[in-house]
Amino acid sequence: MERLRDAARRIDVPTLLVRGKMSDVVSEEGVRDFLQLIPGARAVDVSGAGHMVSGDQNDVFNDAILEFLAEVQDAGRCGTTA
């Protein structure tokens, strides 16, 4: 487990955790731990969704991802290919 925590601390790319508010796999404590381990990471809780957020609330899941990617791109944190 400590190897995973060490690896997480070295992540230096924009990172988003999308969690179903009713998830029985990822707890609120787990989210807090995740955010402490990965500098600059963000999390979104999706109401009305369990662990399979994209299946439970697909539109909300997609909106969260697209918003995050737009913000990252606007901040110049993602590369583009031509």
Please give the DSSP secondary-structure letter assigned to residue 47.
T
Question: What pLDDT is stored for residue 20 in this prediction?
Answer: 95
25 belongs to a structural domain:
yes
Residue 35 has pLDDT above 80, yes or no: yes
Question: For residue 45, what are the domain limits?
Answer: 2-74
% the chain with pLDDT above 70: 93
Question: What pLDDT is stored for residue 79 in this prediction?
Answer: 54
% the chain with pLDDT above 90: 84
82 belongs to a structural domain:
no
Look at residue 42 and give its three-state secondary structure.
strand
Residue 80 has pLDDT above 60, yes or no: no
46 belongs to a structural domain:
yes
pTM over 0.75: yes
Whether 17 and 52 have beta carbons less than 8 Å apart is answered as no
80 belongs to a structural domain:
no
Question: What pLDDT is stored for residue 75 in this prediction?
Answer: 85
Q: How many domains does the chain have?
A: 1
Residue 65 has pLDDT above 50, yes or no: yes
52 belongs to a structural domain:
yes
Residues near 11 by Cβ (< 8 Å), separated by ≥ 6? 38, 39, 41
CATH of the domain at 34: 3.40.50.1820
**Phi-psi region at 64: left, alpha or beta (left = phi > 0; alpha = psi -120 to 50):** alpha
81 belongs to a structural domain:
no
Look at residue 6 and give its three-state secondary structure.
helix
